[in-house]
Structure 1
Amino acid sequence: MIRQLAIAALAGLALVACQEKAQTPPAVRPVMSARVAVGDIDQQSFVGTIEARDKTDLSFQVLGRLMTRNVDVGDLVQSGDLIATIDATTLDLTARSAEAALGNRRAERENAAATVARVEALRTSGTAAESSLDDARAAFDAADAAVRQAEADLAKARDALGYAELRAGFGGVVTATGAEPGQTVSAGQSVVTIAKPDPRDAVIDMPDWMAGALAPATPFIVAPQIASDQPIAGRLREIAPEADPVTRTRRVKIALSDPTSLFRLGSTVEVRADQQATPAITLPEAAVLTRQGGSFVWVVKIDEASRAARREGSVALRPVNTAPAGDGRLRIVSGLSAGERVAIAGVHSLEDGQKVLVLANDRDDAQGDAS
């Protein structure tokens, strides 16, 4: 009997505790938030270099030891100038051998021609057979063909001898050297790089998402770092078709309009798009929740009765469309309006409809944190 009374008492105490727990309101969680506002997205600038649009790597067509290199980086050259030479001993011997072979073949052809004339005379007098004349003529034709082949070999050898000299195909400035005298260079190995001074491009590396959004012939402003107050205009000329797999940037080339002497080849410049700042709502990437391929934000709604007191409210999950904005921010394309308040931290631990307490130091204007 006593045992039954004890069990009943314990059950009663548990029921009372459950009722008290059910009557206890859930804890209100503090949340960091900001009121979104439309602001201007600053135009991002990039650092690049000035490069020639047309340049070429000069190389020898045959293997050889580099004997001379008459130019260095920064030198100006004209079309036809002698740039470098390689050891031509072997090539010269090959040309001489071809000359000797040609002389031998010509002598054989003259001998065959004399044989044909002699057999024709004998055939006229009736002392030589017709077949002997045919054989003599065939021998002459073979000797004549050998002469033509030897002439072609000599022309080829002399042409190869000309490969020992490397000459500029156009006027320009030397931007790089790839071999030093005494070094053995292979066929096709770059010895000197020559670039035409004009036209010139400003070359920058731009984030993939930003480069993909550029329109053809987008205007840019290009300024030398040594004189940032003297910018010139430029226009988009080329975008690399693929992004660098490591940096996820694309090489962008901007054609310069009437560049001054400040924009010399190899100089450093600052480049930015010549466009007005774009008004938009942007949020830190940490404020946007990604789920199942979609983007969402937590919209904070403050209860009217709590505005003057603890500023309590609740959060609601809302889908939004976003686009990259650079510097760790996302541009809100649709889904949010200016004046709404969103949670900007701890978005992965909130639940739809959860009660929250807006921190007293939260900004009423998200221009600085989530503009």
Structure 2
Amino acid sequence: MNPAKTLIASLIILSSLTLWGCSREQATTEQVPFVMVAQPTTSFTEQKSYAGEVKARQQTDLAFRVSGQVMQRFVDVGDQVRVGQVLAKLDVKDAQLQLNASRAQLESAQSAAKVAEQELTRFKQLLPMNAVSRSQYDAINNQYQAALASLKQAQSNYEVSQNQTRYNQLVADKSGVITTRNIEVGQVVAAGQAAYQLAIAGEREVVIGVPEQAINDLRIGQEAWVTLWSKPQDKFASYVREISPAADQSRTFSVKVALKTQSQDIQLGQSARVFFSSLQHNILSVPLSSVSANEQQAFVWVVHPDSRVHKLPVTLGAYGRDSVPVLSGLKPEDYVVVGGVHLLHEQQKIRPIDRENRAVAVSTAQKPTGEKS
């Protein structure tokens, strides 16, 4: 073979081997991924939320003070009413007849009292002349006193009948909005039977149901914040105003959460959610993104001093909005992978970085969690 050709072939083979080696080294380097890590925080903000409904702080049932048949109703659910507005009327025929009878009795009693007074006056004039006996005078005086008593009774009955006639109109005693209607035209209602429910204009609050295992975590005056389902981006500062001392039929306790500031955007009946937050110290917590599970066993990836990851089983508490408390299995000095945990495998070498993409040097003095001495 020509020496020149042999030399050229040797140079080509050598160059290929050199390039292959460089490519292999570069590929090996590229296989070590950059992974974000962080140490667990030593506090945990526990957040709980409950669904509720916006209601008026003050609500009252409106009812007729007398029984009767409903002849007219002038408002319905959702209508705004003002003080003194007539809401409904009953049939006044029977009440009018009773009023007429009471008026007649009153006029009769007035006449009887007038006659008794005149008779007493004559006997007073005859008594000094001994034209009548003392016993006769006392009898006439007693008749006069009885006539006055009958007159007072008739006057009271007449006033009661007048009131009964006026009570056939149901009048709003507060301004607000009608939230419930329980009557129909033609219906016969009893005295005191609720005809309407009125939400009094003014403050609004959210009523929630809290299960019995969580009711002891709440207290009067506790801070909270409210969001509306229609506007979840808006938050309204609020506080616990009232906690029911007994559970209802659903085995939950009614809790009323008052809004600190009123807004026109908050309407009666809207769906809302109430959030409570509490900061717990001396509890390790990690981001939700750092937790994975295998066969119902939760674990996190911790980084060894040699920059290799190790799967560490942990015991978790109640999940929060962005993080979860770690009850056991983790130490404060451990570095935990906080993203891409599903792409890692045991003893994989990584390049740990923090949230600002700065390299993290895991201390060689750190003893890997879960390993024996």
Q: Do Structure 1 and Structure 2 share a fold, with TM-score over 0.5?
A: yes
1:216 pairs, out of 206, 214, 220, with 220
Deviation per residue, 1:59-80 (Å, 9 max, x gap): 0122111111111111111111
Whether contact under 8 Å (1:43, 1:277) holds in the other structure is no
Query: Residue in 1 aligned with 2:167?
Result: 163
CA distance 1:365–1:176, shift in 2 (3 Å): farther
Whether contact under 8 Å (1:41, 1:280) holds in the other structure is no
Secondary structure of residue in 2 paired with 1:227: coil
2:252 pairs, out of 228, 246, 249, with 249
For 2:132 and 2:219, locate their aligned partners in 1 and report how far apart those are by CA, in whole Å: 88
1:266 pairs, out of 269, 278, 294, with 269
Matched, 1:60 2:74: no
For 1:264 and 1:241, locate their aligned partners in 2 and report how far apart those are by CA, in whole Å: 27
Whether contact under 8 Å (2:43, 2:280) holds in the other structure is no
RMSD: 3.3
Query: What residue identity is the alignment partner of 1:73?
Result: V
Matched, 1:188 2:196: no
For 1:239 and 1:210, locate their aligned partners in 2 and report how far apart those are by CA, in whole Å: 12
Number of corresponding residues: 266
For residue 53 of structure 1, report the CA deviation from its aligned partner: 0.8
Deviation per residue, 1:229-279 (Å, 9 max, x gap): 111111111111122354x32111111022322211111112211445777
CA distance 1:275–1:38, shift in 2 (3 Å): closer
Query: What residue identity is the alignment partner of 2:269?
Result: G
For residue 333 of structure 1, report the CA deviation from its aligned partner: 11
Whether contact under 8 Å (1:61, 1:188) holds in the other structure is yes
Whether contact under 8 Å (2:49, 2:275) holds in the other structure is yes
CA distance 1:103–1:141, shift in 2 (3 Å): same
Query: What residue identity is the alignment partner of 1:265?
Result: L
Secondary structure of residue in 1 paired with 2:213: helix
For residue 130 of structure 1, report the CA deviation from its aligned partner: 2.5
For 1:243 and 1:119, locate their aligned partners in 2 and report how far apart those are by CA, in whole Å: 75
For 1:105 and 1:183, locate their aligned partners in 2 and report how far apart those are by CA, in whole Å: 38
Query: What residue identity is the alignment partner of 2:139?
Result: D
Whether contact under 8 Å (1:225, 1:269) holds in the other structure is yes
For 2:133 and 2:78, locate their aligned partners in 1 and report how far apart those are by CA, in whole Å: 77
Query: Residue in 2 aligned with 1:178?
Result: 182
Matched, 1:201 2:180: no
CA distance 1:257–1:212, shift in 2 (3 Å): same
1:128 pairs, out of 129, 132, 147, with 132
- Give the gaps of 5 or more residues in structure 2: 1-39, 286-315, 332-344, 347-367
For 2:369 and 2:203, locate their aligned partners in 1 and report how far apart those are by CA, in whole Å: 48
CA distance 1:121–1:198, shift in 2 (3 Å): closer
Query: Residue in 2 aligned with 1:145?
Result: 149
1:27-66 → structure 2 map (5 Å cutoff) = 40=44, 43-66=47-70
For 1:66 and 1:255, locate their aligned partners in 2 and report how far apart those are by CA, in whole Å: 37
- Give the gaps of 5 or more residues in structure 1: 1-35, 283-321, 340-359, 367-371
CA distance 1:83–1:326, shift in 2 (3 Å): farther
1:115 pairs, out of 116, 119, 126, with 119
CA distance 1:279–1:167, shift in 2 (3 Å): farther
For 2:117 and 2:161, locate their aligned partners in 1 and report how far apart those are by CA, in whole Å: 28
Secondary structure of residue in 2 paired with 1:92: helix
For 1:210 and 1:278, locate their aligned partners in 2 and report how far apart those are by CA, in whole Å: 19
For residue 210 of structure 1, report the CA deviation from its aligned partner: 1.6
CA distance 1:233–1:96, shift in 2 (3 Å): same
For residue 164 of structure 1, report the CA deviation from its aligned partner: 0.6
Deviating above 6 A after TM superposition, structure 1's stretches of 4 or more consecutive aligned residues are 36-39, 331-334
Query: Residue in 2 aligned with 1:103?
Result: 107
For residue 332 of structure 1, report the CA deviation from its aligned partner: 9.6
Whether contact under 8 Å (1:84, 1:167) holds in the other structure is yes
CA distance 1:221–1:207, shift in 2 (3 Å): same
CA distance 1:245–1:159, shift in 2 (3 Å): closer
